[in-house]
């Protein structure tokens, strides 16, 4: 298989951190909505109601909207050839790792992550420290998929780079 015959790169999975991270911001949203609704009916002065509404909007933005946007902006893309990590709200960071250059993949879990079958997936890419996919849902499945893709990409590169054996027939096109 030559470089021209390689399969096109395909997207295998698009993964985000576990949605459990949105539990506390969602509870804060519910509490803010309840307290501000109560306050709007309990306060008599218009300026007090406006101040409460402004404070509630600021609290919703800081305690719910920013964590939601941060969660939405973190994304891990797994393709047939590479792993792409994208994150950041104002300053976007993108990191790519070729699966053919990666050596191992493992899962690290805390107690809470074990309850939700999530975990940190660590990909050894020959760097001084591994690439970490933080708090990924169904971490075992992600680990298996990455291991299979790493094995397939390294074996396909090995067959491309393998010199022909004496028994192999090599067909070459005439130059002309």
136 in any annotated domain: yes
40 and 111 assigned to the same domain: no
DSSP character string of 29-82: HHHHHHHHHHHHHH--SHHHHHHHHHHHHHHHIIIIIHHHHHHHH-EEEEESSE
Question: Over pLDDT 90: what percentage of the chain?
Answer: 57
Quote the CA–CA distance of 21 and 25 in Å, as a whole number. 8
Residues 6+ away with beta carbon under 8 Å from 41:
none
98 and 145 assigned to the same domain: yes
175 in any annotated domain: no
**Bigger pLDDT: 129 vs 46:** 46
Residues 6+ away with beta carbon under 8 Å from 139:
107, 109, 113, 117, 118, 119, 120, 121
pLDDT tens, 55-94?
A: 999 999 999 999 999 999 999 999 989 999 999 989 999 9
84 and 155 assigned to the same domain: yes
Determine which helix (DSSP H) or strand (DSSP E) holds 120, and give its type and residue range.
strand 118-124
What is the arithmetic mean of pLDDT over 114-125? Answer: 90
Domain CATH code at residue 140: 2.30.29.30
Q: Are strands 131-137 and 93-98 parallel, antiparallel or unpaired?
A: unpaired
| Number of domains observed in the structure of the chain | 2
Mean pLDDT is lowest, of 2-11, 70-79, 145-154, for 2-11
Residue 103's pLDDT is 81
Secondary structure of residue 24 in the 3-state scheme: helix
Q: Which domain range does residue 35 map to?
A: 21-71
Residue 165's pLDDT is 54
pTM of the shown model: 0.75
Q: Are strands 118-124 and 11-15 parallel, antiparallel or unpaired?
A: unpaired
113 and 39 assigned to the same domain: no
For the four alpha carbons of 33, 35, 36 and 41, in that order, the dihedral sign comes to positive
Residue 172's pLDDT is 47
């Amino acid at each position: 298989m030559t470089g021209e015959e390689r399969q096109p790169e395909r997207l295998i999975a698009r993964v985000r951190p576990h949605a459990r991270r949105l539990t506390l911001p969602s509870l804060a949203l519910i509490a803010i909505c309840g307290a501000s609704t109560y306050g709007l009916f309990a306060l008599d002065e218009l300026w007090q109601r406006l101040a409460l509404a402004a404070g509630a909007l600021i609290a919703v933005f800081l305690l719910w909207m920013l964590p939601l946007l941060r969660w939405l902006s973190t994304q891990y893309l797994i393709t047939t050839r590479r792993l792409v990590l994208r994150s950041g709200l104002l300053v976007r960071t993108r990191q790519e790792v070729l699966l053919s250059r990666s050596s191992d993949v493992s899962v690290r879990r805390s107690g809470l992550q074990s309850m939700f079958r999530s975990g940190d997936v660590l990909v050894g890419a020959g760097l001084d420290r591994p690439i970490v996919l933080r708090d990924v849902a169904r971490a075992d499945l992600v680990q298996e998929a990455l291991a299979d893709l790493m094995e397939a990409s390294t074996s396909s590169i090995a067959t491309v780079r393998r010199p022909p054996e004496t028994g192999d027939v090599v067909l070459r096109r005439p130059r002309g």
